Structure 1
Amino acid sequence: MTHLFFTLCIGIGATMVMDLWGLLRRPLFGVPPANYGMVGRWVAHMARGRFRHDAIAQAAPVPGEQPLGWAVHYLTGIGFAAVLTGIWGPAWLQQPTLGPALIVGIGTLAAPFLLMQPCMGLGVAASRTPHPGAARLQSLITHAIFGLGLYAAAWAMRLFYPE
């Protein structure tokens, strides 16, 4: 049960760090935060049998897409934390190290580059966006920050819940 609790908290904490970064990007770089309502729209359309869109922003809006998108965002963060704690196990939870957290954090780029962006009409690795290189760089930075968040959240859990 402790492993599950730690994994949940680490996933939520890392996702919060990523969201904080998303808020800081606008004043620092002029990059707006992610619109998780579009993720909610995409997921809601999946329930209706539509998995791919030419442009998700042009798809019919769905009631509750914002909260659904945020829920999917946080559940995804928890899922990636489960990958980390599942691979590196209780030993990593006892003594978190940065390497595994960054491997998982940066590895999570596969989800938007190969699944979400193509299915939402943005192309593989944002290839159909106006500035693919900039979008890729922002994704890389954001997912590296998620990895740092995994590490920081794990250490915070160790401080608040030592065993």
Structure 2
Amino acid sequence: MEVCMAVEIIMLGTGATLLMDLWALARKRWFGVAALDYAWVGRWLGHMRHGQFRHAAIGEAPTVRGEHALGWIFHYLTGLLFAALFLAWVGDAWLQRPTLAPALAFAALSVAAPLLLMQPAFGMGMAASRTPQPWRVRVRALLTHLVFGLGLYLMGLLAQWL
């Protein structure tokens, strides 16, 4: 991978993930909507080294040393991976003329990760089917990922400007 492309991936992925986190803080402050506890992500990853990939309820699983840090690091690494996948999908030309539609389309597709992988592994069922209000969880996940897409677009504009 060329150095310039690596810098762009880091910029897009970090910026988009940061915007997503700011959105989560705003939702919590303004609407009282709790964000995902990234310690759960770290706990999930920590249990994988012992062969446990699914949990009945991740919040009740034994804690893992360093789970907060592990979860947050994985969260930002996932943002970098998604940025790299996005750029592989749209190509380098997108960076010359960033547009919103592809970023939002990719973000909408990326919501498959929590719905089909993480939520079932955390004990929430496929697409949050075991939660008290599955559609609310699904819509929130989609909105959060669309904010990530907006972040990709805004960081693309910033990269173009720089």
1:104 is matched with 106
1:12 maps to which of 14, 25, 28: 14
Alignment of 1:23-38 (within 5 A): 23-38=25-40
**Percent of residue pairs identical:** 49
Alignment of 1:72-111 (within 5 A): 72-111=74-113
1:153 is matched with 155
TM-score of the superposition, structure 1-length normalised?
0.95
Shift of 1:159: 1.6
Shift of 1:62: 0.4
Gaps of 5+ in 1: none
Question: Which amino acid counterpart does residue 12 of structure 2 have in structure 1?
Answer: I
1:115 maps to which of 101, 114, 117: 117
Runs of 4+ in 1 over 6 A off after TM superposition: none
Question: Which amino acid counterpart does residue 129 of structure 1 have in structure 2?
Answer: T
Question: Which amino acid counterpart does residue 25 of structure 2 have in structure 1?
Answer: L
Name the count of aligned residue pairs.
160
CA RMSD, 1 decimal? 0.9
The yes-or-no answer on 1:69 pairing with 2:71 is yes
Gaps of 5+ in 2: none
Shift of 1:28: 2.5
Cα distance between partner residues in 2 of 1:88 and 1:135 = 29
